[in-house]
Amino acid sequence: MRSGASDAVTHLAPADLADDQPVLRRIARLLQPYRSSITLVAVAVVVAAAITAVVPFLTKAVFDQALFPTDGSGPDLQLLAWLVLAMCIIPIVAALIGIGQNWLTSTVGNSAMADLRGDLFAHLQTMELAFFTATKTGAIQSRLANDVAGVRTVLTDTATSILQNSVTVTAAFISMVLLSWKLTILTLILMPLFVWLQLKVGARRQRLARRTQESLSDMTAITEEALSVSGILLSKVFGRADTEVERYREANRQQTRLQVEQAMTGRTFFATVQTFFAITPALIYLAAGWMITGGAGGDTLTAGTLVAFTTVQARLQMPLLSLMRVSLDVQTSLALFRRIFEYLDLRPAITQRDGATTLDPRRMEGRLELVDVGFRYPEPRSLRGLPPESNATDDGTDDVHERGWALRGISLTVEPGQLAAVVGPSGSGKTTLGYLVPRLYDVTSGSVRVDGHDVRDLTLDSLQSAIGVVSQDSYLFHGTIADNIAYARPGATREEIEQAARDANIHDRILSFSEGYETLAGERGYRLSGGEKQRIAIARVLLKDPRILVLDEATSALDTETERLVQEALERATHDRTTIAIAHRLSTIRHADVIFGVEDGRLVESGTHAELLEAGGLYARLYREQES
């Protein structure tokens, strides 16, 4: 259950990470469709901060004009009432503005996150098959779920929090300077040191965030492997449940250690900052006393000014701390954004060329040619955001005798409507040959041609529409049987679905289930037998009605009766279609129009069943082995 492939991102060192500016620009582009809403949020933040900045000056007026007028005339109750009314109205207005601001922020943030998740999923759909064979499914799921979820706060709250706290801090700073610039210097004297420490803490938090997400990716991969139907079946058959539990617990312990380390990073720093802010009012009072008694500006320092200043200073503490915390959150989230962008920056190895030709299914003949085809599997893709290495050599003249080649110098032709079988020992390259036809992989040298067109010159949609594939391991998703068949053509009617099932010899069996076509297939179709899954897969491809059909050992590992039913279904499926049947059981392809023998990645013989038996080569040897 352990996959040999790993998420290559885990091998990235911090030194390899790009600077923050490109990432920030991409985040800004992500939010660009919502700039009108963001503008409203910004206006709301500025208005709310501006009106609340008036409160300290109202406080000063309460003391110096309403309660204790400097002219000694006594309290002015009418002025006091107006000032108190204004002090009550301002928080109410600010709260109402805050509600609207929060709604806009949440809408924008969650919409942007949905866009990011959708873009990532869509991009993954364009990646070639080799990418998924080299990357753990759990690692991909972790990027799509955990990493995107990890940036939720940045997209929903952080931008607004930065703006709101920045405006609040700016307004408070201006108010403090207007009240007393000397006390302002005392209040902010250690801020440069705090900013420097915050940057150091942020860099550490960013590295920890990346390691934490990598650890979470490993946990997700273990979960996907161990708790899938196949994984549970394997662990129970081999009695490895305890081993899997311990593997998960070790990954869980590692995740816990990283979470604790990340949570504690910066706690001492914030405790120091909070302590400084807590004792600052006492220092302000001491400085005020010295200024008043010493005359160093004390003649202008009234009681109202001192109360208003300490009020503003107290209000400055939370926004400043919040800005520092948000800065750490942003740096943490940048690590997650980089992981997401690494996937988005991967270029698919199999792409559609500009000006590609569209196959017309009504005019297709279905002639298939492989011209001097050589193929070797590409190296596992790196997730560094770099262009993938080409599978072809610089001059297209690879040495096909070099080790590592799956196919070497294959040339063959399948005429329209023919049934061509490909036989050979295990590992000879049969399945690889079949995968080249629908461009699941691209040839390393030579070409694959459909009706004279190199498949690399055809549009991907028209090529995929023209070719159907039935593999040995037919995949069914966790849905109804009808949905699984209709996956080939979502707009198909129930009558068309049932006709495809009849042609695949599965209609009567489906009706024997209590829920008929609404029966759930189960995870990966595990509620059905192998023969039932194969026939449903055949029904699915019949509904698609492709001109070319690739059958990858579609009758292997079946009992005799089931094989007969599947074979009858395949005979209907191959009628009047160009078909390549990759065969293990040679008894199923005796009637093929042409049989190609492949060994060690080379085409060694071709002919009919009778001709190849008479030749006494590879096919005759394999046939005798199966008959004996």
Write the CATH number for 26: 1.20.1560.10
- Answer yes or no: is 499 within a domain: no
Does one domain contain both 339 and 428? no
**Average pLDDT in the chain:** 78
Picking from 42-51, 76-85, 236-245, 487-496, which range would have the lowest pLDDT averaged per residue?
A: 236-245
Does one domain contain both 294 and 418? no
- Answer yes or no: is 353 within a domain: no
Q: Does the pLDDT of residue 348 top 60, yes or no?
A: yes
Please write the tens of the pLDDT for every residue from 541-563: 889 889 999 988 766 555 666 66
Domain of residue 616, residue span: 369-476+545-627
Q: Does the pLDDT of residue 308 top 50, yes or no?
A: yes
DSSP letter (8 states) at residue 389? P
Q: Is 2 left (phi over 0), alpha (psi -120 to 50) or beta?
A: beta
Q: Does the pLDDT of residue 408 top 90, yes or no?
A: yes
Give CA–CA dist 8/136, Å, rounded: 10
Q: Which of 444, 440, 449 is nearest to 414 (CA)?
A: 449
| Contact of 443 with 408, CB cutoff 8 Å | no
Please state whether beta strands 445-450 and 368-375 pair in parallel, antiparallel, or not at all (unpaired): antiparallel
- Report the pLDDT averaged over residues 326-333: 70
- Report the pLDDT averaged over residues 510-537: 83
Q: In Å, what is the CA distance from 389 to each residue of 296, 349, 369, 386?
A: 73, 8, 26, 9
- Answer yes or no: is 516 within a domain: no
The pLDDT score that the predictor gives to residue 385 is 39
Picking from 54-58, 239-243, 342-346, which range would have the lowest pLDDT averaged per residue?
A: 239-243
Give CA–CA dist 314/337, Å, rounded: 35
Give CA–CA dist 549/569, Å, rounded: 13
Does one domain contain both 331 and 389? no
| Residue given tokens 């997700």 in the structure block | 220
Q: Does the pLDDT of residue 525 top 90, yes or no?
A: no
Please state whether beta strands 594-599 and 578-582 pair in parallel, antiparallel, or not at all (unpaired): unpaired
The pLDDT score that the predictor gives to residue 596 is 95
Give CA–CA dist 450/547, Å, rounded: 11
| Contact of 460 with 352, CB cutoff 8 Å | yes
- Answer yes or no: is 303 within a domain: yes
The pLDDT score that the predictor gives to residue 195 is 63
Confidence of residue 400 (pLDDT cuts 50, 70, 90): very low
Does one domain contain both 407 and 335? no
Q: 191 is written with which tokens? A: 């801020």
Does one domain contain both 333 and 457? no
Does the CA dihedral 174-178-180-181 come out positive or negative? positive
Most confidently predicted of 41-50, 146-155, 244-253, 480-489? 480-489
Q: Name every residue whose Cβ is closer than 8 Å to that of residue 383 and which is 6 or more positions away in sequence.
A: 7, 8, 9, 12, 342, 343, 346
- Answer yes or no: is 530 within a domain: no
Does one domain contain both 85 and 135? yes
Q: In Å, what is the CA distance from 136 to each residue of 100, 143, 223, 358?
A: 43, 11, 11, 34
Most confidently predicted of 116-125, 267-276, 335-344, 451-460? 451-460
User: Pick the residue with more confidence: 557 or 600?
Assistant: 600
CB burial class (10 A; 0-12, 13-18, 19+) of residue 389?
exposed
- Answer yes or no: is 389 within a domain: yes
Does one domain contain both 230 and 325? yes
Of 311, 344, 377, the domain-final residue:
344
The pLDDT score that the predictor gives to residue 398 is 41
User: Pick the residue with more confidence: 296 or 38?
Assistant: 38
pLDDT above 70 covers a percentage of the chain that reads 77
Burial 348-382 (b: 16+ CB within 10 A, else e): bbbebeeebeebeeeebebbbbbeebbbbebeebb
Amino acid at 249: R
Please write the tens of the pLDDT for every residue from 187-238: 766 666 666 666 666 667 667 777 777 777 777 777 766 666 566 655 655 5
Please write the tens of the pLDDT for every residue from 134-169: 777 777 777 777 777 777 767 766 766 777 777 777
Give CA–CA dist 151/255, Å, rounded: 18
What values do phi and psi take at 519, rounded to 5?
-65, 135
Residue 595 maps to which CATH number? 3.40.50.300
* CB-side neighbour CA atoms (13 Å) of 28: 6
Please write the tens of the pLDDT for every residue from 428-477: 889 899 999 999 899 999 999 999 999 999 999 899 889 988 887 777 87
- Answer yes or no: is 507 within a domain: no
Q: Does the pLDDT of residue 104 top 60, yes or no?
A: yes
The pLDDT score that the predictor gives to residue 411 is 95
Give CA–CA dist 260/242, Å, rounded: 27
The pLDDT score that the predictor gives to residue 47 is 86
DSSP letter (8 states) at residue 183? H
Confidence of residue 593 (pLDDT cuts 50, 70, 90): very high
Question: H or E stretch including 340?
Answer: helix 303-344
Q: How many domains does the chain have?
A: 2
Give CA–CA dist 208/333, Å, rounded: 11
DSSP 341-356: HHHHTPPPSS-PPTTP
Q: Which of 393, 339, 314 is nearest to 59 (CA)?
A: 314
Please write the tens of the pLDDT for every residue from 7-33: 333 333 333 334 667 887 888 888 888
Does one domain contain both 304 and 381? no
The pLDDT score that the predictor gives to residue 197 is 64
- Answer yes or no: is 536 within a domain: no
| Contact of 335 with 209, CB cutoff 8 Å | yes
Give CA–CA dist 82/80, Å, rounded: 5
Give CA–CA dist 539/533, Å, rounded: 10
Does the CA dihedral 472-604-412-356 come out positive or negative? positive
Does one domain contain both 50 and 164? yes
Does one domain contain both 316 and 389? no
Confidence of residue 3 (pLDDT cuts 50, 70, 90): very low
Most confidently predicted of 64-78, 79-93, 382-396, 523-537? 79-93
The pLDDT score that the predictor gives to residue 606 is 93
* Total Cβ atoms within 10 A of residue 295: 9
Does one domain contain both 333 and 426? no
The pLDDT score that the predictor gives to residue 225 is 66
Most confidently predicted of 145-159, 275-289, 359-373, 514-528? 359-373
Does one domain contain both 440 and 583? yes
Nearest-10 Cα torsion for 309, 311, 312, 316: 130
| Contact of 542 with 548, CB cutoff 8 Å | no
Please write the tens of the pLDDT for every residue from 112-121: 888 888 888 8
